[in-house]
Structure 1
Amino acid sequence: MAAQFEPQIVLYDLACTKNICFSPVVWRIRLMLNYKQIPYMTIFLEFPDIEPTLKGLGLGPSDPASATNFKYTVPAIQHVPSNTYMMDSGPIAQFLESNFPERPVPLTSELGREIEAKARGLGGKAFQLSVMPREIGILSPRSQEYFRRTREAGLGFPLEKLLDSDKEEQAWATASDGMHAVSELMGTNKAEGPFVLGAKPSITDFFITGSLQSARTVDETVFQRFAKYPGYMAIYEGCLPYMEKKD
């Protein structure tokens, strides 16, 4: 008789109509769980249910100094053996690395920090311009209303206004040279393996892969924009074995 599945971690993820993970920040943690082979189960939350659910678990709001503009976000986890709850990908990654040290995942490196900063700075605007207005297409009606209301409050105009093909093409064209340079940087240790540090993945690889998989889930054509950059694709393809569990 097969042993009963006993999750060590409950992962709170963002719901979409495809019933799979699509959030880039949640993917970072999901990739880490999959790579470390930590047994876990997923609870998907609609956008408007994130804050009340996490409050109900006793979690406090995000640190005002954090990068997010929202008080409550996913990923969040419950560590089942200790009944510990936490939120935000940074603290969660540190917790997983401390409590599940087998198959270690480097959480920082000089090369990784440089790649992450340049990837955000050089390709981040084009990525957001293409992904954010299309994201609404894979959300439930309740989440669509929340997403539109909160994002348009910051933008000051309808999401659809971002879908100007000329502006989108210009954003990717502007980012192209920089993304080629970052792609080359990602291949610094390609003689040892497909990942940033060589043979084994680090959190930077999960950052890159999570972003690409988010784009792919939202719209395949956005993902294909990355296909011309060998460094991005080598990392993504290297992480494919750790992306089988998406739900």
Structure 2
Amino acid sequence: MTRTLYSLCGADAARPFSPHCWKIVMALRHKGLDFEERPLPFTAIPKIEGGISKTVPVLRDGQELISDSFQIALYLEEAYPDQPSLFGGEGGKALARFVEGYCQTLVHSVITRIALSDIHSMLAPDDQAYFRASREARLGKTLEEIRASRDEAIALLPERLMPMRHMLAFQPFIGGETPLFADYILFGALQWLRLTSGSLHLPADDVVAQWFERCLDLYQGAARAIA
């Protein structure tokens, strides 16, 4: 069976950077499933599979076609119950929903302020025009105005990661002794930051930075190989 994961890239297709797609890259590796990743620029996404979604990830698994990262994770858990669990039970699903909400409301907003202009620089001209217009309309500021607050956002990031820093002082992964989908949610956000801005903007001895390094080492370092 051929699995295809549609993801997001800039002008360089070898550097897919979407946080939501990275969740599923890690989830597929966690499940031990083979797949082909097909990174696409922003302006090509509405054409995926006849227009199934305006956003990625989108997973084609044989006859199944699923969009939305959390729905894909739930599908993988149900479709492949004999492979390692992404959730470890209903409690793990609830944990993942909490981490998803935490990331989207508190972490992504800071990363956006840090990385937005870097993302724009990674895009081809047509995508730059789309990205500028859509993000400036969404955020109510120009990219240049957002860029001006970059240093302030970098200084704020450690504070936004404090809940995870507290948890990871007691265990190696958010999932406990081994990672679960909840880990891949936060990992996706920080991999997005790493690939677009070139840094985590955290000290090497930060507990979250050390957890991130452990995640980069998972699955023969596949995520680390993208730089």
User: If the length of structure 1 is used for normalisation, what is the TM-score?
Assistant: 0.77
The residue type paired with residue 39 of structure 1 is: D
Q: Is 1:231 aligned to 2:208, yes or no?
A: yes
C-alpha displacement of 1:210: 1.1
**Secondary structure of 1:169 counterpart:** helix
Segments of structure 2 that go 5 or more residues without pairing to the other structure are none
Query: 1:33: which partner in 2?
Result: 28
Contact 2:59–2:65 (CA<8 Å) still a contact in 1?
Answer: yes
User: In the alignment, which of 84, 88, 92 is matched to residue 68 of structure 2?
Assistant: 88
Query: 1:244: which partner in 2?
Result: 222
2 CA distance for matches of 1:172 and 1:180?
Answer: 14
Higher gyration radius (CA): 1
C-alpha displacement of 1:42: 1.7
Query: 1:45: which partner in 2?
Result: 40
RMSD over aligned CA atoms reads 2.6
C-alpha displacement of 1:111: 4.9
CA deviation string 1:86-108 (max 9, x = no partner): 21111111111111221111173
User: In the alignment, which of 46, 51, 57 is matched to residue 75 of structure 1?
Assistant: 57
Q: Is 1:204 aligned to 2:182, yes or no?
A: yes
Q: Is 1:103 aligned to 2:103, yes or no?
A: no
CA gap 1:117/1:233 in 2 versus in 1, 3 angstroms: farther
The residue type paired with residue 77 of structure 1 is: L
CA deviation string 1:202-229 (max 9, x = no partner): 11110111111111111213x1336453
1 CA distance for matches of 2:194 and 2:127?
Answer: 20
1 CA distance for matches of 2:105 and 2:48?
Answer: 33
2 CA distance for matches of 1:119 and 1:233?
Answer: 18
User: In the alignment, which of 109, 127, 130 is matched to residue 143 of structure 1?
Assistant: 127
Contact 1:10–1:40 (CA<8 Å) still a contact in 2?
Answer: yes
Contact 1:119–1:182 (CA<8 Å) still a contact in 2?
Answer: no
Task: Name the % identity.
Answer: 25
CA gap 1:42/1:109 in 2 versus in 1, 3 angstroms: closer
Contact 1:212–1:236 (CA<8 Å) still a contact in 2?
Answer: no
Number of residues of Structure 1 aligned to a counterpart in Structure 2:
219
Contact 1:13–1:43 (CA<8 Å) still a contact in 2?
Answer: yes
Segments of structure 1 that go 5 or more residues without pairing to the other structure are 1-6, 62-71
CA deviation string 1:113-145 (max 9, x = no partner): 554444444433321100222111111222212
Contact 2:99–2:185 (CA<8 Å) still a contact in 1?
Answer: no
